[in-house]
Amino acid sequence: MTGFIGTWRLIRLALRRDRIVIPITIALVIAMVAGSAPSLLTAYPDATAQLAYVSSSAPSIIGRVFQGTVHGANIGTIVMAELYITTAAIMAIASIFLVSRHTRYNEETGAGELIGSGVVSQQAPLSAALIVAIGMNAIMAILIFLSLLPIKELDQVGSAFLAASLGLVGIFFACISAITVQLSDYRRGSNGMAIATLIGFFILRALGDVLGKISPDGLIVTPNWITWLSPFGWGYQVLPYNVNRILPLILLAVGSVVACLTGFYLQSRRDIGSSIFASKQGPARAKPSLLSANGLAFRLQSTGFLGWSVGFILFGTVMAVTANDFRKIFENSDVLQEFLAATSTGGDFLDTIISSMFPIIAAMLAGYVVTSLSKMQDEESSGRLESLLGTALSRTRWFFSHVSLTTAGVIINLVLMGLAGGIGFSLASGQFNHRFSDVLISASVSIPAMLLFMAVILIVYSLFGRFTKTFSWFFYGYCTLISTFAGIFKWPQWTLNFSPFTHTPSFPSTEFSVQPMIIMTALALVLTLLANTLFNRRDLNLK
């Protein structure tokens, strides 16, 4: 046990540092599962609706890519198709970030060397991070099982297999992160490799499901062998509520152990602060573009901008191209038709889909604003901003360099998403000129709301500084939740008014209105100028 001295203390330290992040992550996952499963039962209450859903999903290529294969006409199959892949991906990403935060990030900031100078073994930091990640996934699995118990239509054994499968997928990717943190000198690099691995496994699972064969009755899709090369495929092929296979759970457990041992082995081959793949030395002199405030801000934000752009362009395109598949699903469910009639303000089906879809995507895109503006807090707390302000650079120039680039990123992302979605909807509907302009305008009308969202975060940053990230992600989650579920749960109007995205015109299902856009833009401008004034008057927050 001498190789794990100090593990318990580091576990306590990790729990202390993540006393907010871990509970919020668990709460979001449980809320998504506990809220979605009953709504699916309401939407597909009888055998006829369930049969219609499965028969339309089985031949759908897009459905197999993003939802997986179906296995029988029952509510358990629908719950798996609608919840599993998304929930597993969220748990996997949360596990990746948790492990890297308590291992590679500590070494990157110098905290790892400080910890290592005490009575702490070399394996203790990684051991503590993995134990916390395993505990988080175990708690989520238990709570998922308990949240599904009240639903009598879902078999308890199947719910147990579903929860265990999700928990093991999260643990598997925590162990993958234990490998990648040994390969890169920086947390960004290790997270990038782990996320790339996750995407690769997702593609393998999607490819195997797409190449699967449909049974003669059209209700079961048997995946190709390629699916079994992915942990997402292992987890999904447990097939809760239908087969309840144990073998995929064993594969996930064995794979986690192998990845974990590999991580410990790689750690034993390097020193604190180093990595298996050493970083190359940078140029002796900075590029001319980095010698300005805007150039430096662009360098800090370019990678995040590219990632968000590619992701949401693809997402908008896929959602647009599959609009007709949504039409079939809505037509096969009386409950969904009633919901569409209640939330629609006019226009045909595609008009309603455009009006409801793009504000939700725009609210999700606000995550780009959060990550972009978080760079300001990182630069300040690390002390790098203090060094920059020691030169001829003023606070106002530095402040607006980040604000202007974030604003440009928001506008470019929304326009690109509108262009991609417009082309997709045009191809799906066969009405190029009409649909293309509708989608482009629908995406663009969210720009004022996004600017107001950004201005609120800037006010909090200028007042409090170090609490910006916590508030930003909370505000982001609130706005996304409101945009997605407000029409379903009929929340009071005052709760909706706090989200800028609820004030966005519902175009094209309603007439285009400029007034709310002008008001939000003016308010965003005033708040941004006020934030700059407040920032100039406060001291820097240094760690």
Mean pLDDT of the chain: 82
Which SS3 state, helix, strand or coil, does residue 322 take?
coil
- From first CA to last CA, the distance across the chain in angstroms is 34
Report angle CA 407, 375, 202 to the nearest 5 degrees: 85
392 part of a folded domain? yes
Residues 100 and 240 grouped into a single domain: yes
Looking at residue 52, its pLDDT comes to 83
Q: Which uninterrupted H or E stretch holds 412?
A: helix 395-429
Residue showing tokens 């709460």: 27
Chain segment 476-532, per-residue pLDDT in tens: 877 877 766 655 555 666 667 778 877 777 666 667 678 888 999 999 999 999 999
Q: 271, 80, 87: which is closest to 159 by C-alpha? A: 80
Q: Count of H helices and E strands in the chain?
A: 23, 2
**CA–CA distance, 373 with 456 (Å, rounded to integer):** 11
Q: Which uninterrupted H or E stretch holds 213?
A: strand 213-214
Residues 304 and 197 grouped into a single domain: no
Report angle CA 328, 333, 339 to the nearest 5 degrees: 105
Looking at residue 138, its pLDDT comes to 96
Residue showing tokens 């928001």: 410
Work out the pLDDT band at 326, boundaries 50, 70, 90.
low
Looking at residue 478, its pLDDT comes to 78
Residue showing tokens 């798996």: 80
Residues 78 and 154 grouped into a single domain: yes
Residues 327 and 264 grouped into a single domain: no
Looking at residue 270, its pLDDT comes to 81
Q: Which of 63-72, 232-241, 381-390, 430-439 ranks highest by mean pLDDT?
A: 232-241
245 part of a folded domain? yes
Higher pLDDT, 402 or 354: 402
Residues 218 and 364 grouped into a single domain: no
Residues 205 and 70 grouped into a single domain: yes
Looking at residue 309, its pLDDT comes to 77
Residue 503 DSSP code: G
Q: Which domain holds residue 421?
A: 290-543
Contact between 46 and 34 under an 8 Å Cβ cutoff? The reply is no
Chain segment 386-431, per-residue pLDDT in tens: 888 888 888 999 999 999 999 998 888 888 877 777 776 666 666 5
Residues 97 and 241 grouped into a single domain: yes
Q: pTM value?
A: 0.76
**CA–CA distance, 483 with 475 (Å, rounded to integer):** 12
Residues 245 and 301 grouped into a single domain: no
Residues 268 and 299 grouped into a single domain: no
**CA–CA distance, 67 with 221 (Å, rounded to integer):** 12
**CA–CA distance, 252 with 237 (Å, rounded to integer):** 11
Residues 74 and 18 grouped into a single domain: yes
280 part of a folded domain? no
283 part of a folded domain? no
Contact between 523 and 454 under an 8 Å Cβ cutoff? The reply is no
Our CA dihedral for 26, 28, 30, 35, rounded to 10 degrees, sits at: 170
Looking at residue 385, its pLDDT comes to 83
Residue 281 DSSP code: P
Query: What angle, rounded to 10 degrees, do the helices at 468-489 and 447-464 form?
Result: 140
Chain segment 278-287, per-residue pLDDT in tens: 666 767 777 7
Higher pLDDT, 363 or 163: 163
Amino acid at 449: A
Domain boundary among 244, 272, 300: 272
- Whether omega before 38 lies within 30 degrees of 0, making that bond cis, reads no
285 part of a folded domain? no
In the predicted model, is pLDDT for residue 189 greater than 60?
yes
Return all residues near 17 (Cβ < 8 A) that are at least 6 apart: 101, 102
Please give the tally of structural domains in the chain.
2
284 part of a folded domain? no
Domain boundary among 243, 272, 301: 272
Burial class (CB in 10 A: 0-12, 13-18, 19+), 537: exposed
Residues 343 and 478 grouped into a single domain: yes
Q: What is the mean pLDDT of residues 15-39?
A: 88
Residues 127 and 256 grouped into a single domain: yes
282 part of a folded domain? no
What percent of the chain has a predicted confidence (pLDDT) above 70? Answer: 83
Q: Which of 345-349, 473-477, 516-520 has the lowest mean pLDDT?
A: 345-349
279 part of a folded domain? no
| E-only strand ranges, 247-366 | none
Domain boundary among 226, 244, 272: 272
**CA–CA distance, 478 with 381 (Å, rounded to integer):** 26
